[in-house]
Amino acid sequence: MEATVSTPNRREFRSPKRILVRFFKKSRDRWKEKYQEAKRELKRLANQAADVRRSREAWRKKAEEAEAEVQRLQGQLQAERTAQQDAGKKGAPRAL
């Protein structure tokens, strides 16, 4: 006596197997291509984000250096103005 086990999840297809094989292969290939495209897009976006991050850091460093230079020049200018004012006070005649 043979035991027949019926599984409720198993589907019996009525189409010929050669048609089913072609359909499933095509479906699998489309899925793989879609996955590969998503993977390429993810890689591209990750590289772009890294490039933007690097660029932003470079610009931030440049801006900070420029700001330090501005501060240095402003201090130097202030010192020169103070020196000129002091020199002007010493050489100016006094009012009676």
The whole-model pTM stands at 0.54
Q: E strands along 1-89, which residues?
A: none
Long-range contacts of 85-89, Cβ-Cβ distance < 8 Å, separation of 24 or more: none
Distances in whole angstroms, Cα of residue 2 to Cα of each of 5, 7, 8, 77: 10, 16, 19, 104
Confidence of residue 93 (pLDDT cuts 50, 70, 90): low
- Quote the CA–CA distance of 32 and 38 in Å, as a whole number: 10
> Residue 9: how many CA atoms within 13 Å on its side-chain side?
0
Confidence of residue 72 (pLDDT cuts 50, 70, 90): very high
